[in-house]
Every structure is written in structure tokens, then in C-alpha cells.
Structure 1
């Protein structure tokens, strides 16, 4: 029994899912940093 194809496919799916999550978090981080900078510029909470 050779299950190599299924194992490779499972790892490939895992890599795709994790890569998508990392990309989503990076995009969200950039978006939130821009919103925070804008809020601080407009007189948000500051010291």
C-alpha cells in the first residue's frame, strides 16, 4: 500500500491553509496599524 500521494496532498493542503492565514494576519495587521495611526493623528488617546 502506497499512501505517499495522500500524504503529500495533505501536507500541501496544510501549507496552503497556513500560508493563507499568515497572509490574512499580515494584511489585517497593516490595516489596523494604518487605522491606529490615523486615529492618533486625529486626536485619539495620547500622552
Structure 2
């Protein structure tokens, strides 16, 4: 497969895009874990979600 005279630009562009996607995916995963931890801390301290309270009162 010959990419011609622009091969280095094409390969560099694909690598940069892959790096950005990997970094964004990692950032989202870390943020998700932090949000879950924070929510667990709030629930343990007695703070409840409104949607959760409404569902419990219906039962």
C-alpha cells in the first residue's frame, strides 16, 4: 500500500487522532468513577435523590 508523498502526514494525523480519542476515553472513564464515588459519599452521608425518594413513597 503506497500512500504517496504525503504518507508521513497521513500516518501522523491518524496517530494524533487515535491519541486524542484514547485520552478522551480515559478522561471519561476517570470522571465516571469520580462521579460514582462522590454519589456514594453523598448517599452515605444521608443525602438522598429526589427521584429515589419519590419512588420509595409510592410503594
* TM above 0.5: yes
Q: Give every structure 1 segment of 4 or more consecutive aligned residues whose post-TM-superposition deviation is greater than 2 Å.
A: none
Aligned residues: 47
RMSD: 1.2
- Which consecutive residues of structure 2, in runs of 5 or more, have no partner in the other structure? 54-59
Q: Which has the higher contact order (CA 8 A, sep 6+)?
A: 1
Q: TM-score, normalised by structure 2?
A: 0.72
Indicate the residue corresponding to 2:15 in structure 1.
Answer: 12
Greater CA radius of gyration, 1 or 2? Answer: 2
- Which consecutive residues of structure 1, in runs of 5 or more, have no partner in the other structure? none
Q: TM-score, normalised by structure 1?
A: 0.89
